[in-house]
Structure formats: C-alpha cells, structure tokens
C-alpha cells in the first residue's frame, strides 16, 4: 500500500455557508507529488466542486499561491512529502477577500500594479527606424533580480501591513516600480516616486521583512522598499536645498 496523506482544505461556498470550513480528503503521497497534485486528485476523483486556481505547474504563472500549513506557498512547488505524516492544511491566500474555496480576488493587486507604471517610460520615444534601446549586461544586472517577479502575491499574503491597511501599495508593486527605476532605458522614476512617496506607498512599510522570506523567486521586495526609501528621502532633501530652477 503506497503512502497517503490527509489534506484539510478550506471550503467556502457562499451559497451555503457564511464562514470558511475545513473538509478533509485523503490523497496519495508519492515523493514527486506537490500540494497542487493533491488538490487535482481531490477535484478529479473525490469532489469536483472544489475551486482553486492553477495553470503552469512550474512556478512561472504565479496563479497557484495558497496558504499551506499557515505559510504562503506556491502549491506547485511545495511537496506533500515534506509535510508527512500530515495533515496538510490548505487555505486561500491571506489578506485577500475569498470568492470561493481557495480562490481569492485579485482586483486590488491588479489596480495597484498599474498605478506604479510597470513598463518602460520614455519622455520621447525613439522612432522605430532608430533601432532598439541598447543595454549592457551590467546595466541589466542592476534590475534583473526585481524583474523575476511572477505576481503570485505571496508577499501580500505574508505582509501584515497590507493586511492591516489594504491601502498600502504593497511589496510586489514597489519592487516592480524599482525594477523599472533601475532600468537604464527608463525615464519614469519621477512619475513613480510621486505615487510611491504617498503615505500608503513606501512609507507605510515598517520592514517586517516577511515578503522577502516567502518570495519563491528571490525578488527581495523588502530590500527594494528600503532602497526606495533611502532614495526618496535623498531626493526630497535635494529638492529642499536645490529648488527647481536653481
């Protein structure tokens, strides 16, 4: 008889319950199964009504983030065997409204993402005929780490500040802003600073540091935010002593 493990899955069916409840399923636990395989087994074999998001199964799409035994995890990269003998508790990502079962609403994050303009901003675009914007490998290394973000929102689920104040723009959005600020081809740093220097921007962060710990891509949002603070503080000092036109 092969190994099996118990999954305790948070269910929330708005048409029948007002609070989330746990349901227990027993699933196979071969050494190469991840939590997502367990959920797929439940959905295919045991209970087809279970709702959750997933797509690529290889840590790139960022859609299968859930709370596994209290920690935000990509369920496609979290092995069931590591939790043996179990049980494994699977809950939706924290700090987001739950739509159903393990599915949370992404709306807030999506709006925040757009606000920091995560694309290359140019004051004047070069004509196509003038060719690409060139960049040296060293220049790319400046921001590469921050560009690895897959928008999985694990950092938002880990951030108590975001949980306490949903207006806080949050780790991934700030790290992405920094990714473009540090890009030698970009000229949008001043525009982004205006949004991020609001109270709910970088100043809301008190450096709990959990975002960096849970990031599956080693983006280090906490570091990005602290660097941004230092930069913003120096900018404001500069603008104080050197007013425009001086």
Partner 1 sequence: MAHIAEHYTEYHPRWLRPHISTYWWLRKRSYFAFILREISSLFVAWSVVYVLLIVYAVGRGPTVYQELLEWSRQPWVIVVNVISLLLVGFHAVTWFNLAPQALVVRLGHTHVPGAVISASNYAAWVVVSAIVAWIIVGG
Partner 2 sequence: MIRRSAEPLLWMVFSAGGVVAALVLPMLLFLFGVAFPLGWLTTPSAAHLAAVIGHPLTRLALVVVCTVSLFHAAHRFRYTLYDGLQIKHLNEIIALLCYGSAVVGSVASAYLLATF
Which is closer to partner 2, CB of 136 or CB of 206? 206
How many Cβ atoms sit within 10 Å of the Cβ of residue 34? 21
Determine, following the binding rule CB under 8 A, whether residue 20 of this chain makes contact with partner 1. Answer: yes
Interacting residues with partner 2 between 203 and 232 (CB under 8 A): 203, 206, 229-230, 232
- Tell me how many residues contact partner 2 (CB under 8 A): 16
Q: 65-104: which residues touch partner 1 (CB under 8 A)?
A: 70, 94-95, 97-99
User: Could you give the C-alpha distances from 239 to 180, 195, 202, in angstroms and in order?
Assistant: 22, 17, 18
Is 190 an interacting residue with respect to partner 2 (CB under 8 A)? no
Determine, following the binding rule CB under 8 A, whether residue 28 of this chain makes contact with partner 1: no
SS3 sequence of 136-151: CHHHHHHHHHHHHCCC
Within 10 Å of residue 233's Cβ, how many Cβ atoms? Answer: 13
Q: Judged by CB, which is closer to partner 1: 195, or 208? A: 208
Q: Which is nearer to partner 1, 23 or 26 (CB)?
A: 23
Residue 236, binding choice from partner 1, partner 2, none, Cβ under 5 to 8 Å by partner class: partner 2
210 binds, among partner 2, partner 1, none (CB under 5 to 8 A by kind): partner 1
From the list partner 1, partner 2, none, partner contacted by residue 237 (C-beta under 5 to 8 A by kind): partner 2
User: Is residue 245 left, alpha or beta, with left meaning phi > 0 and alpha meaning psi from -120 to 50?
Assistant: left
62: left (phi > 0), else alpha (psi -120 to 50), else beta?
left
- Determine how many CB atoms are found less than 10 A away from the CB of residue 140: 13
Q: Minimal distance in Å, beta carbon 239 to partner 2?
A: 10
Residues 177-216, one symbol each (x = binds partner 1 by CB under 8 A, - = not), give: -----------------------------xxxxx--x---
Shortest Å, Cβ 98 to partner 1: 4
Question: What 3-state class would DSSP assign to 122?
Answer: coil
Cβ at position 237, least distance to partner 2 in Å: 7
Alpha-carbon gap, residue 83 to 34, rounded angstroms: 10
Binding map of partner 2 across residues 154-173, x = CB under 8 A, - = no contact: ------xx--xx--------
d(Cα 98, Cα 183) in Å, to the nearest integer? 36
Q: CB neighbours of 162 closer than 8 A, spacing ≥ 6?
A: 95, 156, 168, 170, 171
Please give the residue ranges that form the binding site for partner 2 (CB under 8 A): 160-161, 164-165, 197-199, 203, 206, 229-230, 232-233, 235-237
């Amino acid at each position: 008889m092969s190994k099996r493990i118990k999954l305790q899955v948070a269910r929330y069916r708005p048409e029948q319950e007002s609070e989330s409840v746990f349901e227990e399923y027993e699933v196979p636990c071969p050494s190469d199964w991840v939590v997502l395989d367990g959920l797929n087994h439940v959905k295919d074999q045991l209970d087809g009504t279970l709702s959750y998001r997933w797509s690529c199964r290889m840590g790139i799409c960022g859609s299968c983030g859930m709370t596994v035994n209290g920690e935000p995890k990509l369920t496609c990269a979290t092995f069931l065997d590591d939790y043996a003998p179990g049980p494994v508790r699977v809950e939706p990502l924290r700090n987001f409204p739950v739509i159903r079962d393990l599915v949370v609403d992404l709306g807030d994050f999506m709006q925040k993402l757009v606000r920091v303009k995560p694309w290359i901003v140019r004051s004047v675009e070069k004509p196509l005929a003038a060719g690409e914007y060139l960049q040296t490998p060293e220049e790319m290394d400046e921001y590469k780490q921050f560009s690895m973000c897959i928008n999985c929102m694990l950092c938002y689920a880990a951030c108590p500040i975001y949980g306490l104040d949903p207006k806080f723009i949050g780790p991934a959005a700030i790290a992405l802003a920094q990714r473009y600020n540090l890009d030698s081809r970009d000229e949008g740093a001043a525009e982004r600073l205006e949004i991020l220097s609001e109270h709910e921007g970088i100043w809301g962060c008190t450096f709990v540091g959990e975002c960096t710990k849970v990031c599956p891509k080693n983006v280090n949002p906490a570091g990005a935010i602290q660097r941004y603070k230092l930069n913003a503080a120096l900018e404001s000092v500069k603008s104080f002593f050197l007013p425009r036109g001086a």
